[in-house]
Structure 1
Amino acid sequence: MRGLDYKWIEALDAIVEQKSFDKAAEHLYISQSAVSQRVKQLEKWLAQPVLVREQPPRPTAVGKKLLGLYRRVRLLEQELVPELAADLGDKPLSVSLATNADSLATWLLPSLFPLLESKRVELDLIVDDEAEP
């Protein structure tokens, strides 16, 4: 049996917070259909509704309990993630990036400069020559 998927509850939370499926989809950067499917999967897993589909949508009693759990988990993550990041010390984030030589010679590094200046990022550049077959 598959366990509880927090993406399902994230969709429920976004619907309640944004007061619509469409705005929830925009907020989560996914389609409205994907938001709807996540809620349906959650309801199927629980075998009961988690959302009253009115305007605006509102959580059922079970939905409220799940939202409480989800919001507590998010608070715990907000406490834990900086602590984990601090454990990494001064080690930069390593990012591999493939590019062509023309982009590297012209616009790529200037466009990345603000990120590289503000964060500790180590670039592993892979340069491919477009001229070769």
Structure 2
Amino acid sequence: MSFEKEWRQARTDATENRAVATRLNQTGGGGATPNLAVNSDALGPIGADAHALYEGVKRDTETVRVSNYEAAAALTTGQFTCGAQLMQVHERWYTQVGTLRDACAQISNHLDYSVAAHAKDDAEIRGDLMAVSKINGLLK
């Protein structure tokens, strides 16, 4: 089929089917039921687990951090060459622990924010639609 024939067919189909709809090209037509749900029942346990992991990593790694530092300092003071290398391992390891803790905190905070932001957006949209509904009622 040539472009002109295809275009003519698309225009004919569009004029015959006056229903206005928006859809993504990659998805089929969907129903009119809402399907985006962000609630604390679903996200709360995940955020709580992330927070618990953050606290556990913070608590459990502190003892190891102190022990590694003291061992590296003692080896360096005793003029063992491995003391400096152990200090490098200690610093890198502690940096990685910090990165893990930050990631856990971001997950927990983001989930809390998502629930609150979605609820706020829903309320705002609901208010906007109610205002339009009232205007439409007056125009009829």
Q: TM-score normalised to the size of structure 1?
A: 0.27
Q: Which has the larger radius of gyration?
A: 2
- Whose helix proportion is higher, 1 or 2? 2
Compare relative contact order (CA 8 Å, sep 6+) and give the higher one, 1 or 2. 2
Q: TM-score normalised to the size of structure 2?
A: 0.26
